[in-house]
Chain A
Amino acid sequence: MKILLILIFSSLLLIASSANQHQVKILEKIFSEISIGKDIKIWSDNQDILIGLTNNQNFSTTQNSKDANVIILKDATSIDKITENQTVFVLEYKLLSTVKKSFGALFWKKGRPNIVIVEPRIKMQSIEITKELEPYLEEKIW
């Protein structure tokens, strides 16, 4: 019985980590396609994502939100961690509305990954994106 429970628990962990890995891969892709005019140093309120993003050649991560220049926000409760000079990327569509300075979002809609890059905000924050991200540009948040 104990072995069975361990197996079930391990399987669930594996599924969860698989979903996280997918998300991390997309994020890696997004952040390798953008430029904020300096080396990207990421902090996230989601530890799994933060750990997943370490050891990337295009950017670095930090455990201290103050040291980061890019914040990946999962939860609205972490909004107070954001400082003035930081660039924000959110993991919920509605957070785009909540966090006015967030320039883009990666979220799951109807079980499918969706990316939104808000064009006016990247222009305002002098964030450059490659052609790869252009299909995801939105004029406004609907």
Chain B
Amino acid sequence: MVRKKELFLFLLLLLLAIFFIYVYGYVKQTKEEIFTRVEQNKILNIKYYFQNIENEIIKSNDINDSSSLVYLLSDKDTRKKYEKNLALLITPGIKYIYILAKDEKERFRFLLDASRTDKAHFYQKFDVKDEKYKEVYRVASPQIIRQKNMENLSLTYLYPIKVNGEVIALLSVDITTRIEIVISSLIEPLETFFVILIIFVFLLILMTSVQVFHYFITRKKIFTDPLTELFNRNYLQEIAPMINLEKYSVAMLDLDRFKVINDTYGHKTGDFVLAQSSQILKKSTRDSDIVIRYGGEEFLLFIYNREEDKQESATAICERIRKNISEYTFNYEKEEIKMQVSIGLHENPSLEKNLNEAIKIADKMLYIAKNRGRNRVVTYNEKLKNSTESKTKDINFVKLALEEERVVCHYQPIYNHADKKIFKYEALVRLIAKDGEVIFPAHFLPELKHTNVHYKLTQRILLNVFEEFENRENSVSINVNFSDLINADIENSIISALTSNPDLASRITFEILESDEITDITLFKQKIELLHSLGAKVSIDDFGSGYSNFRTILDIEANYLKIDGSLIKNIDKNEKDFKVVKSIIHFAKEANMKTIAEFVHSKEVYDKLLQLDLDYMQGYYIAKPSASLLNEKELFA
């Protein structure tokens, strides 16, 4: 997109150039018109004068043919008399006046020369080439010769001297270019001014063209991400004010667990996967769609909603992208890598205040897609708005809930199916609205991402759980993420509570999300070691849903491995999931970790899991989370 300023300037200059050229042409035309008028006026005057001279010569001297005229003018005194009369016409603009007559050999000869310079002798031959001289004799009417390449002469006027309609001689006058020179000298500064102006404007046009050309050349560099060859955020910034949100749907895409690729295979492989994924993304979209690399492995997609192409909805395009990426095998240096993408889609971004708001909503959808197990498209629509978004609580709601002590924990039993006892509970945060409604984490956690309120909330949960279990014998799991662990306040709270109560510490398990956010493995390991040193246990949450870094998991010596719900929920129907879970269990045993299956939502799933060497189970089939701690009798209700 050419910057409007340059284009406007270019057009303005072009318009100016056209205007100046027009004015220049007009001045030139006017000059020519002045010349013509002056010339006509001059000729008219000469003509009248010549008529008088003709009458004078012919009538006063009884001339009846050419030879009598020659005879008359052969007399020096007579010649002088008429030369004197004719010389009255001599002005700075009229250079020569003379009478010519044809001799017997059809050559022109001077009969009289009234010129003040370059005077000819009587009857001197005069070599003239122009046919107009002969034409005067033929047509017996005045002729004008426009002189070219004749020094100082612009035109010659030939006037026939007639007797009884027959031409016997001709009066000739040579007009100089003097008046034209005077007019030209007056107009020349104006012409020069316009010429300079036109040159100047053309130079400016040239400069602007060079600038525009340079802009086009550099535009690609400025707006393209070199690795993925997709548009970058500069381009987004460029188009943001111009994009018509009524014509586009907005989607946020994020490659699932991409960090693991970098950690496992190195950055070169990561770059390769990123570049390849971008190409798949590009191929899965249409020319009218705009794909932007938004961040590291995050992409922003503007899907053009064509009137004529209603069949292919934005959701269908997103689904195609998801499918194409998940089905593709990335081959890099003998490694076969699979990749998945989560997509948050806002189909009607024009409903939002601005593009930023629309992107924010698409980002929220992306977050939901990630929370729901990744590799999926979550579309924002009215239904979702009513069911989910209307319940979405902003950061102030959470702040108020913290201040008014409306942060509570619900506990879901983790069941040991071998001895049919509750092994421990998982603490799950809930906010209680002022009207008593229980608000689930999905409705407020996304808003808190990386905010201080999130850390305060984590601290409050920790305090609640510590208080609840301080004087009990039950064990409990608490969800924390990497950013919580590296927060100094949270770390101090944990150290303080667990150091003073080793018994409590032995009953606490920290469930850590195996997340892309773990940017510093060394620091992560240090924090896990700290938890171990305090006597607490560590569980890896959501294991198996993405690209797990096995080496890191082995290094941190986790006590438990919680298998991701996406692998469990269909295990009774999906043989592949069954095999994966079986392998995970095998791996966990080898690594001396106990295994927990979450999302056990039906009897079928429960029964299927019994076939595996699994340690613990958790899910709605066994028990839903509850504000109070359930006992064994209350399970499987």
Chain A residues in the interface with B (C-beta under 8 A) = 19, 93, 108-116, 135-136, 138, 142
Contact = CB atoms under 8 A, between A and B. Distances in A.
A108 B149 CA distance: 14
A111 B127 contact: no
B151 interface: yes
Given A109-B118, A135-B107, A114 B127 contact: yes
Interface residues of B, number: 22
Contact of A115 (B115, B123, B127, B151): B127
B320 interface: no
A110 B174 contact: yes
A110 B125 contact: no
Contacts of B121: 93, 142
A114 B118 CA distance: 13
Nearest to B117: A110
B172 to A, nearest CB: 9
A138 B115 contact: no
A93 B124 contact: yes
A111 B115 CA distance: 13
A142 B122 contact: yes
Contacts of A109: 118, 120, 124, 126-127
B96 to A, nearest CB: 5
A28 to B, nearest CB: 17
A110 B107 contact: no
Interface string B105-137: 101000000010010111111111100000000
The 7 closest A-B pairs by CB, nearest first: A142-B121, A142-B124, A114-B127, A111-B150, A142-B123, A110-B96, A111-B153
B152 A111 contact: yes
A113 B118 CA distance: 13
Contacts of B107: 135
A138 B125 contact: yes
Interface in B136-153: 147, 150-153
A109 B128 CA distance: 10
B98 interface: yes
Interface string B188-230: 0000000000000000000000000000000000000000000
Contact of B151 (A111, A135, A138, A142): A111
Contacts of A93: 121, 124
A114 B128 CA distance: 8
A112 B127 contact: yes
Contact of A113 (B122, B127, B152): B127
A93 B118 CA distance: 11
B122 A111 contact: no
A116 B125 contact: yes
A112 B128 contact: yes
Contacts of B96: 110
A109 B126 CA distance: 8
A112 B150 CA distance: 8
A112 B128 CA distance: 7
A116 B125 CA distance: 8
A19 B152 CA distance: 13
8 contacts: A19-B151, A93-B121, A109-B118, A113-B127, A116-B125, A135-B105, A136-B125, A138-B125
Contacts of A112: 126-129, 150
For B98, B127, B152, which residue has the most chain A Cβ atoms within 10 angstroms?
Answer: B127
Contacts of A138: 125
A110 B127 contact: no
Contacts of B152: 111
A109 B127 CA distance: 9
A140 B182 CA distance: 43
B151 A114 contact: no
Contacts of B124: 93, 109, 142
Nearest to B96: A110
Interface string B468-510: 0000000000000000000000000000000000000000000
